Amino acid sequence: MMKKIIFLMVLVSCFGAFPLENIACTYIKTDIKISKAEAGKYYLEEFKGAIFTGKVLSIKDVTVRWLDSLSLMKEVIVEVEEYWVGVEHPQMKIYTGTGEGDCSTDFKIGEIYFINLNKIGGILWSPFYNSSKTDAPKEFKRNRKFINKIFGKPGKIKASD
């Protein structure tokens, strides 16, 4: 059972649920199989983040109090287009590494991404494998289909929100 739980953490990380902080930016290869039902159960019962699509509006370096220390990060402001869970505002702040020897996502201003991030230390954290551009059709369609099965069709942000 423990092997299944560890594999679930790895699998869900690939879908962007949370970073595996103790293994840096490395994937663990395993032969453990996990069902989509088990992954879906994780999202419904334990996931505390946000899942949405949106366009990157700005990126800037900031110092953030995170996991009991001050960390230099990139703050990414994303204009939400559609969302499934965890979106509170039409523009969401997410954080990633600076790209200098850390786990980071290489966001580009003006690009649209499928964002699937867990809250770590109170912020939406994006290590390098947690977000995908929507112009990568295979990956985007697969992720969207999986999330639609769990949460249903996405909501839209209204101008007054």
Helix (H) or strand (E) holding 113, with range, is strand 112-117
Q: Please, where are the H alpha helices in the chain?
A: 2-14, 36-45, 137-151
CATH number at residue 122: 2.40.50.120
> Containing domain of residue 44, as a range?
1-161
CA end-to-end span of the chain, whole Å?
A: 43
Mean pLDDT calculated for residue range 14-39: 57
pLDDT at 100 over 60: yes
Mean pLDDT calculated for residue range 93-114: 83
Higher pLDDT, 128 or 106: 106
Helix axes 36-45, 137-151, angle to 10 degrees: 60
pTM above 0.85, yes or no: no
Strand partners, 56: 78
Give the number of domains in the chain: 1
Mean pLDDT calculated for residue range 38-56: 90
Mean pLDDT calculated for residue range 8-18: 44
